[in-house]
């Protein structure tokens, strides 16, 4: 069985339920308005619509609550393919989510949508233990950051992980392109 790409899943959900409805569901899952228990209970048809699977995690029933954060990850992923301006409020509400995968998606969305208002909330991710999280934050800051964020990115130029260092190089180039060269420090 071939699993559909997330973009195709979201497109199918929109075709079946409408764009605003799918966005509303994703916001409700992301922000916890629809709980994990409800997502695998009464609200399961909504979860199926945005994930393309009746059991997206492949877990045995009942689903262990430790895995409920995946619902927020899948909901955030929707915003890589669908957008409405009020989604920013939901992203702001979860920028410090306890699950690093949710925060990583917030960074990805920030970069894709150039959401400068989310950049400050990404700064703690620059110190995350996982290189992929640091790199996602650096990329987002490169796209949507301002001059006050440059120093935080520069501090990762010597990161032990090559993907983070490469992201720093690209982010600094992009920031310089967008903001102009930095004035020398006194």
In a domain, 186, yes or no: no
- pLDDT of 109-136, one tens digit each? 999 999 999 999 999 999 999 999 999 9
pLDDT in tens, the chain (186 residues): 447 899 999 999 999 999 999 999 999 999 999 999 999 999 999 999 999 998 888 888 889 999 999 999 999 999 999 999 999 999 999 999 999 999 999 999 999 999 999 999 999 999 999 999 999 999 999 999 999 999 999 999 999 999 999 999 999 999 999 998 764 443
Q: How many domains does the chain have?
A: 2
User: Using DSSP, how many helices (H) and how many strands (E) does the chain show?
Assistant: 11, 0
Residues 6 or more apart from 136 whose CB is under 8 A from it? Answer: 104, 107, 108, 111, 125
Q: Does residue 80 share a domain with residue 4?
A: yes
pTM, entire model:
0.92
Q: Does residue 101 share a domain with residue 84?
A: no
Structural domain range at position 57: 1-94
Predicted local distance difference test score (pLDDT) of residue 182: 64
CA distance linking residue 167 with residue 31, whole number of Å: 29
CATH of the domain at 168: 1.25.10.10
Q: Does residue 101 share a domain with residue 36?
A: no
Q: Does residue 82 share a domain with residue 50?
A: yes
In a domain, 39, yes or no: yes
Examine the fold and report which residue of 94, 129, 156 is the final residue of a domain before the chain moves on.
Answer: 94
The pair of structure tokens assigned to 26 is 């994703």
The pair of structure tokens assigned to 132 is 């992929």
């Amino acid at each position: 069985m071939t699993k559909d790409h997330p973009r195709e899943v979201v497109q199918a959900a929109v075709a079946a339920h409408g764009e605003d409805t799918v966005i509303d569901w994703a916001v409700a899952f992301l922000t916890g308005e629809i709980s994990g228990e409800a997502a695998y209970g009464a609200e399961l048809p909504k979860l199926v619509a945005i994930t393309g699977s009746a059991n997206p995690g492949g877990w045995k029933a009942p689903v262990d609550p430790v895995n409920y954060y995946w619902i927020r990850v899948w909901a955030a992923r929707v915003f890589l393919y669908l957008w409405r301006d009020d989604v920013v409020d939901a992203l702001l509400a979860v920028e410090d989510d306890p699950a690093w995968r949710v925060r990583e998606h917030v960074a990805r969305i920030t970069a894709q949508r150039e959401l400068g208002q989310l950049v400050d909330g990404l700064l703690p991710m620059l110190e995350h233990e996982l290189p992929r999280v640091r790199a996602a934050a650096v990329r987002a800051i490169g796209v949507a950051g301002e001059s006050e964020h440059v120093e935080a990115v520069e501090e990762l130029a010597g990161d032990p992980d090559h993907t983070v260092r490469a992201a720093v190089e690209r982010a600094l180039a992009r920031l310089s392109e967008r903001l102009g060269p930095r004035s020398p420090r006194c």
